[in-house]
């Protein structure tokens, strides 16, 4: 009786003792679904041929190397149209997240915050809107103001926040939860 029981007992232990092969094969890290790049395309209303783009790119995700952030070089006293493209390059083919944001415009809004160094030097107005007429912010108008006498260059930063309104009404203020928060350096010259 005891021998039989011991045999069953230790057989059960051995059965459970088998380890899983998955332990030695961790999942691929590429299946993370996050923003890898933000591309901003601008052109001057005054000079429609002068299209240029700048990029914020973090190719290794959270942590690791710092993101590559290009400087937004603007001219004073100009009217620009600014178009934002948000990408996930961790997947193949690359996912254009901004298309999803446009589809779900009712619960999203971009906010643009130039810092105090750019005060009275530029203004931004959202052009596009969701189906209820509330602003979205993928398409914006950026205006640089004319320099005062003696000024040649102005530098500062602009923070861009993508707010996500989940379960709460969309307002003129950012939501408590952001999907994205990045900063672009801006240089305004003559």
Partner 1 sequence: MHKKIFFCLLFILLSALELIYAQHTQYQLKITCIDSSSGISISDFNVKINKLKISQSANPFGEVQLTHVKSGNYQLQIEATGYAIYQTTFQLNSNLELKFQLCPIHIHLDEAKVFTSNNQLGVSSQLHIISPKLSLEQLNKTNPLNWSQMLKAMPGVYLFQSGPVNSIPIVRGLHTNRLLLVQNGVRLYNQQWGIEHVPEIATENIDQIQLLRGPFTLKYGAEGFAGVLINTGPDYLKENGFHPKTQFAYHTNNKAFGFSEQLQFRTNKIATQLIIGFKKAADAQSPNYVISNTGFENYSCQANLLYQYSNKLSFENKLSIFDIKTGIATAAHIGSLSDLQHAIQSNRPLYMASSTYQIQKPFQTVNHQQWVSKINYQITKAQQIQTLYSIQHNHRQEFDKGVVWSTLSKSAAANDYDLVTQSLNLNYQFQSHLFQSEVGFDLVNGNNITTGTQMSFIPNYTLVNLGAYLTTKYQFKAISFESSYRIDHKHQQVFYRDLNNKVFSPINTFKGHSFAFAFSFPIVEKLTSNFSFMKAWRAPAVNELYSNGLHNSLASFELGNINLQAENAFNFESGLQFKNKYSIVKLNLFFNTLLGYINSTPTGKLTVTNRGSFPSFVFGQFDARFQGLELSLLQVLGKYFQFNYQVQLLKAFQIVQQKPIYAIPPNQMKASLDYNLNYSRRKLHISYMLDWNFVAQQTDFNPLLDYLPPPSAYHLIHLGSTLKFKNNLSFQVQIRNLFNVSYRDYLNRFRYFFDEPGRNISIQINYQF
Q: Which of 101, 124, 136, 158 binds partner 1 (CB under 8 A)?
A: 101
Q: Which of 107, 127, 141, 145 binds partner 1 (CB under 8 A)?
A: 107
- Taking the complex as a whole, the smallest distance from the CB of residue 167 to partner 1 amounts, in Å, to 7
13 binds partner 1 per the rule CB under 8 A: yes
**39-47, 99-107, 117-125, 132-140 -> range binding partner 1 (CB under 8 A):** 99-107
- Taking the complex as a whole, the smallest distance from the CB of residue 133 to partner 1 amounts, in Å, to 20
Q: Which residue has tokens 């783009």?
A: 53
Measured from the CB atom, the residue of 78 and 137 that comes closer to partner 1 is 137
Q: Which of 9, 11, 53, 119 binds partner 1 (CB under 8 A)?
A: 9
Question: Number of residues in contact with partner 1, rule: CB under 8 A?
Answer: 59
Q: What angle do CA 174, 177, 180 make, to 5 degrees?
A: 85
Q: 97: which 2 tokens? A: 């997240």
149 binds partner 1 per the rule CB under 8 A: no
Short-list 37, 160, 63, CA closest to 110: 160
Residues making up the chain, counted from first to last:
190
Short-list 166, 176, 162, 78, CA closest to 126: 162
| 130 within 8 A of 139, measured Cβ to Cβ | no
Rg (CA), the chain: 25
35 binds partner 1 per the rule CB under 8 A: yes
DSSP symbol at 62: S
- Taking the complex as a whole, the smallest distance from the CB of residue 59 to partner 1 amounts, in Å, to 8
DSSP-derived secondary structure for 137-176: -SEEEEEEPPPPTT--EEEEEEEEEEEE-SSS---SSPPS
- Positions touching partner 1 (CB under 8 A) are 1-2, 5, 9, 13, 16-17, 19-20, 22-36, 38, 56, 58, 60-64, 66-67, 88, 95, 97, 100-101, 103-104, 107-108, 159, 161, 164, 166-168, 174-183
């Amino acid at each position: 009786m005891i021998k039989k029981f011991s045999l069953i007992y230790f057989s059960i232990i051995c059965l459970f003792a088998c380890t899983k092969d998955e332990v030695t094969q961790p999942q691929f890290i590429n299946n993370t679904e996050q923003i890898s790049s933000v591309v901003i395309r601008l052109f001057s209303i005054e000079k429609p041929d002068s299209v240029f783009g700048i990029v914020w790119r973090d190719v290794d995700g959270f942590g690791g190397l710092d993101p590559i952030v290009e400087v937004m070089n603007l001219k004073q006293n100009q009217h620009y149209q600014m178009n934002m493209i948000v990408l996930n390059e961790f997947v193949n083919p690359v996912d254009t997240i901004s298309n999803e944001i446009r589809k779900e415009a009712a619960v999203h809004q971009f906010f643009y915050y130039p810092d105090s160094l750019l005060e009275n030097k530029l203004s931004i107005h959202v052009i596009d809107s969701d189906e209820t007429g509330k602003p979205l912010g993928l398409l914006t108008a950026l205006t640089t103001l004319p320099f005062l006498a003696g000024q040649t260059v102005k530098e500062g930063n602009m923070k861009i926040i993508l707010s996500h309104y989940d379960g709460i009404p969309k307002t003129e203020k950012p939501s408590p939860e952001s999907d994205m928060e990045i900063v672009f350096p801006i240089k305004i010259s003559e």
